[in-house]
Amino acid sequence: MTVLLVDAANVVGSRPDGWWRDRAGATIRLLERLAGLSGQRVTGPDGRPLDCVQVVAVVEGRAREVSAPAGVRVVRAPGSGDDVLAATAQELSGDGRAVLVVTADRGLRDRLPTGAAATGPGWLLDRLDALEVDA
């Protein structure tokens, strides 16, 4: 049972699909896709089954005011998204939950609490693409 903690800005920025023209819109689209992961069993980054019990996404900047779809807890960073991501990872893992952080930011990965796993946006986007194909 794993909580998926998503660096929304990092994931949105990982595909050159025009997100820079509408950062908030791109974040909304990502959050809507993430809602489909909550409660799902997917293939984890290590190839083993991963039960996603909760999806938490950290948003920042112009995307900070986006609506949260059902199934996704949105954490709004008033300043540095990395600071909020690190603190949220600490909070979640401190509660004894398994946490998988999705980010390509190596500096952020270095700030994660012991026991929190990390993977890149490619893994997440592949899972989301697979869910849409299966739907």
Alpha-carbon distance 6 to 100, whole Å?
8
pLDDT of residue 68: 92
- Taking alpha carbons only, the member of 27, 23, 16 closest to residue 69 is 27
Show the domains of the chain with their CATH numbers.
2-69+78-134 (3.40.50)
Alpha-carbon distance 61 to 103, whole Å?
17
> pLDDT 10s per residue in the chain (135 long)?
899 999 999 999 888 777 768 889 999 999 999 999 999 999 999 999 999 999 999 999 888 999 999 999 999 999 888 899 999 999 999 878 899 999 989 998 999 998 899 999 999 999 999 887 765
User: What are the residues whose beta carbons fall under 8 Å from the beta carbon of 54, sequence distance 6 or more?
Assistant: 3, 4, 38, 73
